[in-house]
Amino acid sequence: MAAKTQRIEITLETLLESVDLAEVIVMRIAEAAGFSEEDIHKMGMAVREGVINAYNYGNQQIRDKKIFMTVELEPDKMIVRVLDQGKGFELTEVPDPLAEENLLRTSGRGLFLMRAFMDEFNVHTAPGGGAELVMVKKLPEPVSGNGS
């Protein structure tokens, strides 16, 4: 029988506390799914950055707006989506934080960290207009035994 995809949907308030909450939730799910300690840290941090992005730039700290986080566990990977209620943006328009002229900028590294810490990262503009950040981490290969 094929393993089912498990899906969890969470609606977060546009509050600073939601950043920590989202990070903790994803880290616990990742731990239960069997990711390594280092991968759990990276996934937590990537999701933290995603929710910071939604809180600060997407929803612009407007209290009435929501942040929608979805976590999907597939047999071989975990997918986290963070959707805000802002105007959306194009990845190509985001300045490269590694460029010499941007090194002393005090912001603009969140998207880079998400990309660095996950196996796949992408941004879509949702039908309603918000930005949807999609982050994928592959599950570790199961260790094969000598037969049982």
Partner 1 sequence: MALQGTCREINDVAIIDFSGKITLGEGSSTLRRTIKELIDKGHRKIVLNLYDVDYIDSSGIGELVSGYTTVRNAEGELKLLHLTKRVHDLLQITRLFTVFDVQSDEDTALRSFR
Could you list the residues that contact partner 1 (CB under 8 A)? 16, 19, 41, 45, 48-49, 52, 97-98, 103-107, 109-110, 112-113, 116
* Contact present, 19 and 48 (Cβ < 8 Å): yes
Which of 90, 105, 10, 7 lies closest to 51, judged by CA?
Answer: 10
Rank residues 66 and 115 by Cβ distance to partner 1 and give the closer one: 115
Shortest distance (Å) from residue 115 CB to partner 1: 10
DSSP state of 129: S
Rank residues 3 and 103 by Cβ distance to partner 1 and give the closer one: 103
Shortest distance (Å) from residue 142 CB to partner 1: 27
Which of 50, 55, 59, 69 lies closest to 16, judged by CA?
Answer: 55
Which of 20, 6, 12 lies closest to 58, judged by CA?
Answer: 12
Rank residues 51 and 73 by Cβ distance to partner 1 and give the closer one: 51
Shortest distance (Å) from residue 109 CB to partner 1: 4
